[in-house]
Chain A
Amino acid sequence: MTTEARSARAGLRAIPGLVLSLAAVVAAACATGSSSATSPAEPEKVVRIGIQPIAQTDPALISSDSEVLIANQVYDYLIDIDESNRLAARLATDWSVSPDGLEYTFDLAQGVTFHDGSAFTARDVVWTFDRLRDPASGYPTADLYSGITDIRAVDDHQVTFTLLKTNPFFLFDLADNHALVLKADTAFPDRGFNGTGPYRVVEYVPPDRIVMEANTDYFAGAPQLDGLEITFFADTSSAVEALQGGQLDFIMGLSTPQYDSLTQADGVQTQIVDTNGFVAVRLRTDRSPGNDPRVIQALNLATDRQSLFEVVRRGYGSVGASSPIGPVYTDYFDPSASPPPRDPQAARALLEEAGYKEVLKLDMYMLNTGDYPDLGAALKAQWAEAGIDVSLQLVPEGVYYGEGKWLDVDLGITGWAHRPYPQFYLDVMLVCGAKWNESHFCDPEFDRLAGLAGSTSDLQTRASAYRQIQQILVDRGPLIVPYFFAQFGATSERVQGLKLKPFPGRTDFRNVSLAP
C-alpha cells in the first residue's frame, strides 16, 4: 500500500515534472542554437532582407527577382543597368565598337579577385559567355546570344565579342539578368557561390535563409555594410509584418495594398519605381474562339483599362493599351495609339455577331500570387457585363510555367518583367513563331517592322517602326495590357542609399548604408 500511495502521488507530481522537463528541452534547444549563433560585441551593420524563396542559384537559370537579387550580390555583370535604364560600367570599365558595328571590345577592371581568392581574367568572361550562348546547353540566353560568332580574350584584361550582324541593343543584351560572370570551368555553378561580387555567401540554408558578408576586397571598393541576411518568406504579407515589427530592413515585390499600408506605417520608408513591367491579358489567336477577330475586339471593348489600373494598382504606374511598349520608353512610346473606350454593349453585340448568343464561357489562367487574383477578379466583373463568363484558374508558378501551361491555354494573364529596351518583348512574344508567343500571334507586317527595329542602328527609323507596331497592336493585336506597373519596395528607417530598380532583383547594395 505504501508503494502504491507513493506511485499515485508520483503520478500527480509527474505533471509539473513534465513541464520542467519540457522547459529543459526548450532551454537545451535554445542553448545549442545559440552556440552556433554569432554574438557580436558591437552591432554589425547587417541589412536584413525578406524575399520569396528561390529555386535557382545558377546564374544561367535564375529568373525570379529573388534569384537575381542574390546572384547580383555574389556575382558581377560585365555591364550593369542603372535605375534609369541606362548602361553602367561594372566589370567592364570601358568599351568600344568597330565601325561596322560587328566587333565590341571591352576593357576589364584590374585587380579583381573571386571570393575563392583567384584572380579574375578575360578568360572567365569568355568561358561565361561561351557557356551562356551554347545552343546545346538549353540555357535561355542561347537565343539571345545566337548573334555572337566569337568571343576572344585579347589579353587578361581585354575581351572582344564578334557579331554576325549589327545589333543596336547588344550592350543591353550583355547586361541581361543571366549574364553574371563566373569563374572559368566552374563545374557546378548551382552548388556554390564563387563570384567577384560585393558580398560573399557565408551560409546558405535552403529554403530558410542565405547569409552574406561584405567582400572587403571588392574591386570597386568595399561595401559600406558588414553583410546581408536574407530570409525567405513564402508569404509576402508575413514579410511586411516582419518589416513593421522591426525584424527586416528591406522587402520588395509588394502588392498595392501592402505598399499603401506601408506608406502610412511608422518606421518604414517606401520605395516606388515606374517600370515597363506589365501584365498581358491575351487570347490565343490560332484557334477558336480567339481566331475570330471580333472576339478579341469584344474583349477589348469589355475592358476598362483605366479602371483596372486604378482599382488593382491604385494608380501606381501607368495605364496600358495594347502593346508592350510603355511610357517608360520615352523615345518609342506613342500615346496616340490607344484602344477604343469601353463599351460592353458593343462588345456583347460583337460576340452575338460572332455566334456567342447567350454567353461566352472562358477559363482564365494566371498565377495565384501578387495582384493577379485581384486583376482576375476585376476583369471577371467587367467582362461579365459584356456577357463573358470567365472562370478564374489560379495556378502556382511551378505549374503555370513549369508545365508550359501558359503557352498552351486559350486565355491567360502573364506578367512580363521590366526590360531596359522594348525589342525583347516583340522578338520573344509577338513575332510569328517566337519562343514565348503565348498568343500565337502571327502578322507579316508586324514581323517586318519588328525586324527592322531590331536591326537598324538609326534611332528615328526604329522609333517610327515602334510607333507603327503600337498602332497595329491596337488595331488587330492579341493583347490587352491593363497597365504598366510600378515596382514597390520598402525599407526600415535606418537603411540609407537604397534605390529600387525597375527590375527589383537588380537592386544594388554596394552603396547602401545603415544610419547609426
Chain B
Amino acid sequence: MTRASTPAPLLEVQRLTVAYTRAGRSYDAVRQVSLTVQQGESYGLVGESGSGKTTLALSVMRYLPRSAAVRGGRVLLNGADLLTLDAKAMRRIWGRRIAFVPQDPHTSLNPSMRIGQQLGEGLSTDGLDQRQARQRALSLLADVHLPDPPRIAECYPHQISGGMRQRVLIAMAISREPQLLVMDEPTTGLDTTTQASILDLIRDLVRRRSMSILYVSHNLGVVAQMCDRVAVMYAGELLEDAPAARLYARPLHPYTQGLLDSVPRLGQNKRRVRLRGVAGRPPSPAETRSGCVFLARCPLAIDLCNDAPTLFETAEGHTARCHRWKEIEAGSADPRQPASRKAGPPRTPTIGREVLALQDVQVHFPLRRSLADVFSRRIRRVRAVEDVSLSIERGFALGLVGESGSGKTTLGLTILGLVERTSGEIHLLGKPLPSVIAGRSPGTLARMQMIFQDVDESFVPTMSIAEILRRPLIRLSGSPPDEASSKAISLLEAVHLPPEFADRFPSELSGGERQRVAIARAFASKPEVLVADEPISSLDVSVQAAVLNLLNDIQVVRDSGLIFISHDLAVIGYISDVIAVIYLGRLMQVAPAAEIFEPPYHPYTEALLSAIPLIDPRGKQERIRLQGDAPSPVDVPRGCPFHTRCPRFLGNLCKEVDPPEQRTASGGMIRCHISLDELKAVQPRVFAFSSPVEGSG
C-alpha cells in the first residue's frame, strides 16, 4: 500500500480549526490540522485527553456538539467538502460512505430497542425489506464473531457484555460497506483480552473489505498494532505524522519521543531502567499560546521555539512540527527528557523481611436485592476473593494483575480493612490484623495506606491541599496541628510539588499533581505497607511515568512494602518485584518479575501477554485469544475457574478438580493441571520486539 498507487486520497482534512464555547468564552480544540487518509489505509491519531483528537474525529463525521463550531478549513471526502453539506445530504453519506464506531459501547446503543432491530434499521433505509434486513443483520452479527446471532438479535443492549456491544457497534458501522470507518477509542474500557479480539476483528474486517480507518486512541500500543500511518496530536495541533513503523522507530518530535518514553515496554523493570516521561503538565485548553505548543515541556526548547513552527516535511510522508527536527534526525539533539535519578539497586526477597502476610483470605459478598430475597433466603454470593495467600516483603513491590471483576481491587480493600473478609488471616508485622477498620488502632491504620485509582475522587473537593495532608498527620501520627502544617509542606516537597500548592484546592491541580498529593498523603503516616490501586490508569500517558517514578522512589527510600494493583501487565512488570496474576478471585500465577514474561506461563498469563498490544508496529506476538467473556464472580466455574476459556483446556480434569499450586524454582507458583515442564515445552515466548528494548529482562 504505497502512496503512489492511490493518487486520489479518500479523506483530506485541510487546515481544520474547531472552537468550543464554554462559559461565554471560546477556545480552539483543533487548530489548523491537516491530514490525509488514503483508500484502504488505517490512519491512527494518537493524543492525550484534550489533544483535540475526538473533536477532529467528530468534525470528520460532521457531527459536532452544539457548543462546538468549525472556524475554518475543509473536510474532503472523495474531494467533496462535507462541511458544506446540509443534514439531508449528510444522511446519504452517514453509514453509507463513512461510519462511526464510538468509544462507549454502554451508552451508544438505544437501551430500549433490540439489537437486531437497531442493526436492521440502517439497512432498511437502503431499500431492504424487513426479512432481508433481518437476514443481513444476522449475517453481520456472525461476521463480528458473535455467538448465536438469532439470540443476540433478540437481546436488548443491557443483556449482553460490553465487548459484545462493541462488536454490535462495529457490525452496525460496517453494515452498509462504508469507505471510511472513524473509530473513537473503540476498545477503551474493555479488558485487555477482549480488546485483543476486537482489534483482531477490526483488522480482519478492514483487510477483507478494503475499508479505510481513522483510528483515534490514546494507547500507543493499540495504534502501533492497528495503523499504517500515525499522527500525534497535542493541544489541538498535529505535531507529527508518519508511517507507523517510522514514527515508532525514529520519532522526530520531542513530544512523540516523550510519549514513547512514558510507558514501560512489556518486560521492562524499574530495577534496570528508568522511565523518562514528559516533564510538566499538559496545557489546559483555555490557555492562550503563542509559539510552539510543546514549548513549556520541551527539553530542546530554544528562543526560536517562541515562533510557532510549521509542519516540516522531513521526508516523503513524514512531517514534524519542530524547528529542530534536523538536529534530532541527525542525532545532534536528544529529544528525550533527561533521566532524573537512578533506579535503586536490584534486590531479591529475603526471609524475615516480611511485613504483611495473607493466609487463605476469602471475601464473599451477599448479593442482597430486596427484603423479599432475605426472607426467601435466596441470597446469592459474589465470590470476589477465594483463598488467597501472599506475603509482602519490606522494600519490595508486589504487583497484582487481573482484568475487571478479577477481585484485585477487593483484595486490596480487604487488606486495608475497607472490606470485611469472610475468612482467612492477615498478619501485619507478625500480628494478626482485625478484619475491618473499626477494629484497628490508629497505629495500625498508620502502618497501611492506599493510593486510589481515580484522582478526581481522591480528595474532599472543598479542602485545601494543606488540610488534606494535615489530617493523616494529626489523626494517625499524632502531630500537633502547627507541626502538621510544616510537615505537610515537606511532604509536598517530597513529591516534588512547590510549597505554594498547600493553599490550593484539588480542582486547581492537574491529574498528575493530584496523584502526587495522594502519594504524599499516603506516605504521611509512614506506612509499612502501601496499596496502590491502578494509580496511573486515570492519568494522561505523558505524566504516568513521572508518577510511577515518584511512587517507586518514595517506596524504595521509605523501605515500605508496596502492593501495586493494575490491569496492565507492562506497568505491573515494570514496577513490581513479584507479580501475582489473579482471575476470578484466584491467584493463577505468582512469579518474580523477570520470570512472568518467560515460559512456563500459566495459560491465562500466556493469553494476557499475547493480548497486550506491543508498542512496536513490527514486534511479533503469539496470537492466543480467549473465547467469550469471563464468567461472573457470582457463578464461578467449578474445578479450575479458568477452564471455560482456557486455550490449553485438558478436559474433565480441569472442569472437576481444583488445579494444584505448582512451585517453580524461584519460589513462584502456577496453578495448573499441566505440569511445568510440559508447559515449558509447548509454550514459546509470547512476544518479541523488533529491536532490543532497554532494561528488558
Contact stretch, chosen from A1-9, A54-62, A293-301, A309-317? A1-9
The B172-192 residues at the A interface (CB cut-off 8 A) are none
CA distance A5 to B114 in the complex (A): 10
CA distance A264 to B318 in the complex (A): 94
Would you call B116 an interface residue if the criterion is a C-beta within 8 Å of the partner chain's C-beta atoms? yes
CA distance A4 to B120 in the complex (A): 12
CA distance A4 to B117 in the complex (A): 8
Can you list, as one digit per residue, whether each of A62-97 has a CB less than 8 Å from chain B (1) or not (0)? 000000000000000000000000000000000000
A-side contacts of B120, CB under 8 Å: 1
Which of A1, A2, A4, A8 has the most chain B CB within a 10 Å cutoff? A1
B-side contacts of A5, CB under 8 Å: 117, 130
| B468 to A: closest C-beta gap in Å | 51
B-side contacts of A4, CB under 8 Å: 113-114, 117
A-side contacts of B276, CB under 8 Å: none
CA distance A2 to B129 in the complex (A): 11
B-side contacts of A1, CB under 8 Å: 114, 116-117, 120, 130, 133-134, 153
CA distance A8 to B153 in the complex (A): 17
CA distance A5 to B117 in the complex (A): 8
CA distance A193 to B114 in the complex (A): 69
Can you list, as one digit per residue, whether each of B226-244 has a CB less than 8 Å from chain A (1) or not (0)? 0000000000000000000
B-side contacts of A2, CB under 8 Å: 130
A-side contacts of B133, CB under 8 Å: 1
Can you list, as one digit per residue, whether each of B82-125 has a CB less than 8 Å from chain A (1) or not (0)? 00000000000000000000000000000001101100100000
| A322 to B: closest C-beta gap in Å | 69
A-side contacts of B134, CB under 8 Å: 1
CA distance A102 to B113 in the complex (A): 97
CA distance A8 to B113 in the complex (A): 9
Query: How many chain A residues touch B (Cβ–Cβ < 8 Å)?
Result: 5
CA distance A2 to B117 in the complex (A): 9
A-side contacts of B153, CB under 8 Å: 1
CA distance A8 to B116 in the complex (A): 14
Can you list, as one digit per residue, whether each of A1-28 has a CB less than 8 Å from chain B (1) or not (0)? 1101100100000000000000000000
Q: Which residue of A lies closest to B153 (CB)?
A: A1
| B470 to A: closest C-beta gap in Å | 54
A-side contacts of B117, CB under 8 Å: 1, 4-5
CA distance A2 to B134 in the complex (A): 10
CA distance A4 to B110 in the complex (A): 14
Q: Which residue of B lies closest to A11 (CB)?
A: B112
CA distance A231 to B113 in the complex (A): 56
A-side contacts of B116, CB under 8 Å: 1
| B168 to A: closest C-beta gap in Å | 15
CA distance A2 to B116 in the complex (A): 11
CA distance A5 to B130 in the complex (A): 10
CA distance A8 to B114 in the complex (A): 11
| B144 to A: closest C-beta gap in Å | 18
B-side contacts of A8, CB under 8 Å: 113
A-side contacts of B114, CB under 8 Å: 1, 4
A-side contacts of B113, CB under 8 Å: 4, 8
CA distance A4 to B119 in the complex (A): 13
| A370 to B: closest C-beta gap in Å | 55
| A1 to B: closest C-beta gap in Å | 5
CA distance A1 to B155 in the complex (A): 11
CA distance A1 to B114 in the complex (A): 8
The B234-292 residues at the A interface (CB cut-off 8 A) are none
CA distance A1 to B119 in the complex (A): 10
The A381-414 residues at the B interface (CB cut-off 8 A) are none
Can you list, as one digit per residue, whether each of A131-172 has a CB less than 8 Å from chain B (1) or not (0)? 000000000000000000000000000000000000000000
CA distance A2 to B114 in the complex (A): 11
CA distance A5 to B113 in the complex (A): 9
| A431 to B: closest C-beta gap in Å | 69
Q: Which residue of A lies closest to B137 (CB)?
A: A1
| A473 to B: closest C-beta gap in Å | 72
Can you list, as one digit per residue, whether each of A263-288 has a CB less than 8 Å from chain B (1) or not (0)? 00000000000000000000000000
CA distance A494 to B110 in the complex (A): 67
Q: Which residue of A lies closest to B133 (CB)?
A: A1
| A260 to B: closest C-beta gap in Å | 56
CA distance A8 to B112 in the complex (A): 10
CA distance A2 to B130 in the complex (A): 8
The A479-507 residues at the B interface (CB cut-off 8 A) are none
Can you list, as one digit per residue, whether each of B638-664 has a CB less than 8 Å from chain A (1) or not (0)? 000000000000000000000000000
Q: Which residue of B lies closest to A5 (CB)?
A: B117
The B21-79 residues at the A interface (CB cut-off 8 A) are none
| B112 to A: closest C-beta gap in Å | 9
Q: Which residue of A lies closest to B116 (CB)?
A: A1
A-side contacts of B130, CB under 8 Å: 1-2, 5
CA distance A25 to B337 in the complex (A): 79
| A288 to B: closest C-beta gap in Å | 57
| B348 to A: closest C-beta gap in Å | 63
| A3 to B: closest C-beta gap in Å | 10
CA distance A1 to B149 in the complex (A): 14
| B272 to A: closest C-beta gap in Å | 58
| B661 to A: closest C-beta gap in Å | 51
CA distance A216 to B345 in the complex (A): 121
CA distance A433 to B134 in the complex (A): 97
CA distance A4 to B124 in the complex (A): 15
| B445 to A: closest C-beta gap in Å | 55
The B183-238 residues at the A interface (CB cut-off 8 A) are none
| A54 to B: closest C-beta gap in Å | 50
| B249 to A: closest C-beta gap in Å | 50
CA distance A1 to B120 in the complex (A): 9
CA distance A41 to B473 in the complex (A): 95
CA distance A222 to B153 in the complex (A): 83
| A447 to B: closest C-beta gap in Å | 74
CA distance A1 to B150 in the complex (A): 11
CA distance A36 to B343 in the complex (A): 98
Q: Which residue of A lies closest to B119 (CB)?
A: A1
CA distance A8 to B133 in the complex (A): 18
| A9 to B: closest C-beta gap in Å | 12
CA distance A162 to B448 in the complex (A): 106
Can you list, as one digit per residue, whether each of A413-446 has a CB less than 8 Å from chain B (1) or not (0)? 0000000000000000000000000000000000
CA distance A1 to B123 in the complex (A): 13
CA distance A4 to B116 in the complex (A): 10
CA distance A90 to B122 in the complex (A): 91
The B119-174 residues at the A interface (CB cut-off 8 A) are 120, 130, 133-134, 153
| B282 to A: closest C-beta gap in Å | 45
Q: Which residue of B lies closest to A8 (CB)?
A: B113
| A354 to B: closest C-beta gap in Å | 60
CA distance A5 to B116 in the complex (A): 11
CA distance A424 to B130 in the complex (A): 93
| B175 to A: closest C-beta gap in Å | 14
| A297 to B: closest C-beta gap in Å | 65
CA distance A5 to B134 in the complex (A): 13
Q: Which residue of B lies closest to A2 (CB)?
A: B130
| B152 to A: closest C-beta gap in Å | 13
CA distance A4 to B114 in the complex (A): 8
CA distance A10 to B254 in the complex (A): 61
| B328 to A: closest C-beta gap in Å | 58
| A8 to B: closest C-beta gap in Å | 8
CA distance A1 to B116 in the complex (A): 7
| A362 to B: closest C-beta gap in Å | 51
CA distance A505 to B187 in the complex (A): 86
CA distance A2 to B133 in the complex (A): 11
CA distance A4 to B113 in the complex (A): 8
| A100 to B: closest C-beta gap in Å | 86
The B344-391 residues at the A interface (CB cut-off 8 A) are none
Supply 5 further A-B pairs (C-beta < 8 A) apart from A2-B130, A5-B117, A5-B130: A1-B114, A1-B116, A1-B120, A1-B133, A4-B117
State the 4 A-B residue pairs at the shortest beta-carbon distance, nearest first.
A1-B117, A4-B117, A1-B116, A1-B134
11 A-B residue pairs with Cβ-Cβ distance under 8 Å, sorted by A, are A1-B116, A1-B117, A1-B120, A1-B130, A1-B134, A2-B130, A4-B113, A4-B114, A4-B117, A5-B117, A8-B113
